[in-house]
Structures are given as structure tokens and as C-alpha cells.
Amino acid sequence: MTSPEPINFKTHFVELFQTALDALKISEKLPAIELTRTKQASHGDYSCNLAMHLAKTMRKNPREVAQNLIDHLPASPILEKIEIAGAGFINLFIKDSAKQSYIKHILTSKERYGSCNYGQGKKVQIEFVSANPTGPLHVGHGRGAALGASLANLLKAAGYTVLREFYVNDAGRQMDILTVSTWLRYLEINQVHIPFPQNAYQGGYVKEMAQQLYDQFSKRLVQQTERILQDFPLSATEMPITTDAELDLLIANAKKILGDDYFLIHQFVLKEQIHDCRNDLQEFGVEFDEWFSEQSLFDSGLVTRTVTLLEEKNYLYIKDGAKWFRSTDFGDEKDRVVQRENGQFTYFASDIAYHLNKFERGFDLLINIWGADHHGYIARVKGALQALNLDPTKLEIALVQFAVLYQDGKKMPMSTRSGEFVTLRELRHEVGNDAARFFYAMRKSDQHLDFDLDLAKSQSNENPVYYVQYAYARICSVLAQWNGDLTTLEGVDTNTLSNPGELSLLQKLIDFPDMIEAAAKECSPHLITFYLRELAGEFHSYYNSTRFLVDETSIMHARLALIASVRQTLSNGLKLLGVSTPVKM
């Protein structure tokens, strides 16, 4: 039984059970028919608990119901036998020949193996990273980047049309702080000394941008201390600037005395930081289809239009001169300001407008990957969508917990504003892209991640990415020693693959498409890391107990076809995670 498109076992069995339900004339609404992989070969390949769900409806013992279902199952070309176990579980045993037929399918499908049509071409937008362009990306951003990129790959493999988007916060106060921070460092180069605010950006990258400003504009941007510190106390030249109010006054003065040159500096630092961010992510294997500017929401008038729409629907009220959104009507802990008393829109207002823009672009599903500190933001954003008569269920938000780095058993510090932080670039240079991408994806996004730098660099079986890549490299070595034509393995007789280790490895390969569908359904790339580690473990055990280049040609070719299928599946899985497949290690 050899076919390039073998039966999908789970789908096939679900159809069989549905036929049995129809024959039994069960019309009541039941939960979806579920099949689970058994943990022991003696219990079959799949188990179904449908009889337990039906027992109350049919007023029979679950084991009796199980027998009724079995009696009404149509004949199946892949089913070896069926057994009733325990309280009424139905265990399904698949013919060895049906499993063996998958090898040709895997080898001919190549990089397409595992892909499915679960998404049916629906348009999904994934917005991730979206870091303020105010400094280098840090290790926390790296986790969101790895998860977002892997999820995008996963959804694409599951049949969705995917757009990857980075939301550039180029219109807010943080960019003003970075602009003034860079300008003050530029003034220092020109011997104009202003007390550097403690709450400004301190990192060395700010001094580097200041030097670039000096190299490009020489003394053009220099202003006198008295003008810069106008409206400050006389002692301001000697006292540190510590409060947000003082920093905002410094920003206002800079805008007033620099005029158009302030915008020039603002655009310069914005361009530099976006360029650095883009390069860092590209080197990390993370690409975006769209870099969406927050400022464009203001320039297009969408923020104003959004606030007007909320006002027309009576979801806004005025208090202390500001406009407030009634977010408590939608489960938020308090109402939120969308427009301040000075007429300026808040970040929340632009965020509502951004989500309105997403809906207007016609996506079927929106996925935001946010830091865990945005947890309180979910209710107000979804509430705003509901207020605009948009479907909030189309928006899914994955919260990403922080990644904590450990080296030599010690926790490493992390603080953005002070400049004392580990950048994503430093992490990548320390452990390599592969380890970073794999380690970041190993936990569900809402779980804390302890990133062990020493483990990530180790060449041992305890290092999960090394363990998986080593399986791939081992297969490459065997196939290189064979030195035959790989395409000939697509049509070999695989009936000799009948020992328990081989059948277990075959079943693990067969599980791959179901794993992709499950991971896509749950938006959980970590399931792929679990699967790859298990597949690598099955292969290493097989490798350690088996000779491949044996004298009997039929056995040799069948075993080589099996491990070539393992190699293809490992490659496809690692590609979803953005991890490379080294031929030698």
C-alpha cells in the first residue's frame, strides 16, 4: 500500500465514528469527536473517548456503547484491530503497511510535509516586537521577536495568509526624550554643558548618535545654556534634572529654540534606531512585511476620526477638560483619557485608531504579541473595538513574559533607561541565533523563561537545540557515507520496517502534520520544540541500536528512506522556528 497522499489517520477515524453516530441515529449535539495518541504501543495508536460522552444519552454502560459504535464502524483499509479498554475507551491499532506508506509521502512532499489547510487561506495579521525606537533591542524584545516569527511561519504552514507587522511608535514622548538626550550629548561635544537628566536615555548608543550629529552638522545645532534652561531656576546649570516635569520643560525649550532643526534631530535619531532595529532583527532571521508608523495615524486624520466616532456613540465624556473613554463599561478597572486638556491625543487614542485601521484593512484575525506588563491593556482595547461596533473576538493577544538571563548560575541585570542591559545583539553573539531562537520558543509565551547562557552554548545532549541539530547531522553523515541517489529512496519497499523502534519512529513522523495544526490552533510554537526533541530522541535511540549500511540492499534502502524522512521532518520543524540545519557538528 504505497501512495504519495496517504490517508490522514485522525481525519479518517473521525469520519468513521461520525458514520457510526449517523447509523445509530444519535442526533443530540455532542462535543467534537476527539482522538488522542496513546502513550503505550500495547494500547494501540489512537484512543477515542466518545463512548463515555454517549453513555448518558444512550442510557447504557460506556463499554456497551463502545461496542455499539464498533459494530457500526465502516470497514477501513488501514485498521488492524479495535479494542475496548478501561471504562470504555476505544483503542485503534493501525496496520504497519499504512504507517510504512508515509515514507514516500514525506520524501516526495519535501519541505511541504506537515503543511495543512487548517487556516483555509484566511488573512491574519501578526503584530509583534513593536519596540519604541529609543535604543537597541534587549533580550525581552528578542523573545517576542522569536515567538512572533515562529508563529507567523507556523500559521503560514497551517494554511493562513500571514502579514507580519512592526508598529513603530514614532509619535510619542519617548522619541522626544531620546531626541533631547542625543542633543544634550551633542552639546557636550561642543563644550556646552547642561546637567544630563537622570530620566533621559543614558546608553552609549546615545553618545554615538551625538557624535554622528556633530560629524554631519558641526556646530549648527549649538545653542547657549541660558536659552536652553530658560524658565529653569538659576541654579539649574549645577543641579541635576530629576523630575518628569523638568524633562518635559527641557523638551519644550528645545522645540522652541531649535525650530525646524528639532524635527531634523528627531528624524535623525528615529531613522538611526529603526535602521539598527531592522538590521538586528534581520540578522536574527526575523523579517516584517510592514513597518507601520504611528505618526501616519495622525497625519491621515484617523486618530481624530476615531475619537469623533467614539464621541458620536456616546462613549466619551469630559472631565477636568480632558476627554475620557468609558472603558469601565467593558470591564476595565477605570476609564481612560483619549485627549488631554491641552488637546493632545494620548497613546491610547492612537492605539484605538491603529486597531480600527487593522479592521479596515480586512484581516480575518488579528494577533498582537505584547509584553506581560500590557495585561491591563487588553480590556480597554477590546472595549474600544466593541464601542466601534467591531468584533473583539477577532483580536487575540498573546502576552509574553520576560526572559531572565543566567550566567554561571547568576541572574544578569536589565534596565533600559540606565543603559545597563543585555542587548539582543549581544545575546546572539554570545550563544548564536539558533540557540536563541530555539530557547526563546521552548516555553509558552505566558510562562517565565529562564535563559541559561551556559547551557545554550554547550555541546551536549542537555542542550535541546544541539540535541535536535545533532540528530539532523547524524543522518546527513549516514547518507553521505551511503553516497547514493536520494530520489531512489522515494520508491523503495518499506515493508521491512517492522520492529518496534521503527514503527514508533514512523508514528512520530506521522504525527507532524497534526502537531502543526494543534500548534497553529493554540498559537503555541513551543509545541514544535517539544515535538522536535521527542523526534530527535526517538531517532538517537534508533541510531544507537541499528546498522544502516548493511549488506542486504532492501533492508538498507528501507532504513535509509526512514532516516531520510526523519531528516526532512526535522528540517521542516526547525525551519518553522528559524533554526538552521547544520550538516556537520
Interior angle at CA 280, CA 274 and CA 281, nearest 5 = 90
Cβ(443)–Cβ(403) below 8 Å: no
CATH topology of domain 128-137+159-287+402-457: Rossmann fold (3.40.50)
Question: How many other CB atoms are found less than 10 A from the CB of residue 169?
Answer: 19
Q: DSSP letters along 315-362, please?
A: -EEEETTEEEE-GGGGT-SS-EEEE-TTSPBPHHHHHHHHHHHHHHTT
What digits encode the pLDDT tens for the residues 532-580? 999 999 999 999 999 999 999 999 999 999 999 999 999 999 999 999 9
Helix (H, G, I), strand (E, B) or coil at 130: coil
Q: DSSP letters along 356-405, please?
A: HHHHHTT-SEEEEEEEGGGTTHHHHHHHHHHHTT--GGGEEEEEEPPEEE
Cβ(183)–Cβ(254) below 8 Å: yes
The domain defined by 300-400 carries CATH number 3.30.930.10: no
Cβ(374)–Cβ(140) below 8 Å: no
What is the band of 237 on the pLDDT scale with cuts at 50, 70, 90?
low
Question: What's the farthest any 2 CA atoms get from each other in the chain?
Answer: 94
Cβ(168)–Cβ(184) below 8 Å: no
* Whether pLDDT at 419 is above 60: no
Domain boundaries, the chain: 9-94, 128-137+159-287+402-457, 300-400, 461-576
Return d(Cα 47, Cα 426) in angstroms, integer: 48
What is the band of 2 on the pLDDT scale with cuts at 50, 70, 90?
very low
Task: Answer whether 9-94 and 300-400 agree in fold.
Answer: no
Q: Under the phi-then-psi rule, with left for phi > 0, alpha for psi from -120 to 50, and beta for the rest, what region is 354?
A: alpha
N residues, the chain: 585
Cβ(427)–Cβ(434) below 8 Å: no
Q: What is the mean pLDDT of residues 61-88?
A: 94
Provide the residue type at 72 as one letter.
H
- Residue 136 has what pLDDT? 92
CATH topology of domain 9-94: Gyrase A; domain 2 (3.30.1360)
pTM, two decimals, is: 0.91
* Whether pLDDT at 5 is above 90: no
Q: What is the mean pLDDT of residues 128-140?
A: 92
Return d(Cα 171, Cα 163) in angstroms, integer: 23
- Residue 415 has what pLDDT? 53
With the C-alpha atoms ordered 151, 157, 162, 168, is the resulting torsion angle positive or negative? positive
In angstroms, how far is CA 99 from the centroid of its own chain? 32
CATH class of 461-576: mainly alpha
Q: Which residues 6+ apart lie within 8 Å of 551 measured at CB?
A: none
Cβ(397)–Cβ(378) below 8 Å: yes
Q: DSSP letters along 282-296, please?
A: HHTT---SEEEEHHH
What digits encode the pLDDT tens for the residues 339-392? 999 999 999 999 999 999 999 999 999 999 999 988 889 999 999 999 999 999
Average pLDDT of the chain is 93
What digits encode the pLDDT tens for the residues 390-417? 999 999 999 999 888 998 888 886 654 4
- Residue 414 has what pLDDT? 61
* Whether pLDDT at 240 is above 80: no
- Strand order of the β-sheet with 46-48 is 35-37, 46-48, 89-94, 79-85
CA dihedral 121→283→148→463, nearest 10 degrees, is 120
